[in-house]
Structure formats: C-alpha cells, structure tokens
Amino acid sequence: MEPFADAACAPIDFPIAPAKAVPLALKRAGLSIDQVSKFEVNEAFSAVAIANQKILGIPTEKLNVSGGAVALGHALGSSGSRIIVTLVHLLKPGEYGVAGVCNGGGGASAIVIQRL
C-alpha cells in the first residue's frame, strides 16, 4: 500500500490542488472520506482549507479541528511536518487521518496515516 499521492493543476489554481491529491491517496489506501476521522489541509491562505473542504465534501467537524496554519502558525519550510504532527496527536488508536498540502507551482501532496 502506498497511502500517499501527488497531483497538480494549473499554477493559478494551486489552492485547490489538494482536492486532486487527497482522492488519489485515499484510493491507494483503499479508504473513502467517510472512513477518515480527521483531515489536516494546510492553509497557505485561509480559503485553501475551505475550498478543498467544499470540493471534497469533508465534514466541518473533521477538518483542521485544532485550527489551521492561520491559528497555529505557518512554519517556514515545515508546513508538512506541522500538519502531520498535529494529525497524529488528534487521532485515537486505529483511526485514519489525511494530510494535504498545496504548493505555489500548482502541485499538491497528500498522505493517509493510521494511528496504531
């Protein structure tokens, strides 16, 4: 199982690129959005998480539940590690979580994790 994925769209549409990477990572993990307990979508801008939430149909109570980068900080060069560490601490044993991040070139990465 390779529970991660990269995807891309036009550079101008980079804020919604996670909506392309997340479904690919979920498919590779053999999971659906309903089976995921928590989602962390990096807020390169405040609207990024909301836009991806609407596109993917993520329930509000599952998305950035401790606050996103606007509330917690946007660690320069460490956004991915920040969202993964937050996600790990939010999950209960056996639960799945998804982290997604976009980049300024139109790309995005997503990963599915399970807390053991």
Structure tokens at 96: 């799945």
In angstroms, the Cα distances linking 105 to 88, 95, 115 are 27, 32, 31
Query: Could you give the CA distance from residue 97 to residue 91 in angstroms, rounded to a whole number?
Result: 7
Q: Which residues of the chain have pLDDT under 70?
A: 1
Domains in the chain (CATH in brackets) are 4-115 (3.40.47.10)
What pLDDT shows up at residue 92? 98
What pLDDT shows up at residue 7? 97
What pLDDT shows up at residue 106? 94
Give 86-114 pLDDT, tens digit per residue: 999 999 999 999 999 998 789 999 999 99
Say how many C-beta atoms besides its own lie within 10 A of residue 42's C-beta. Answer: 24
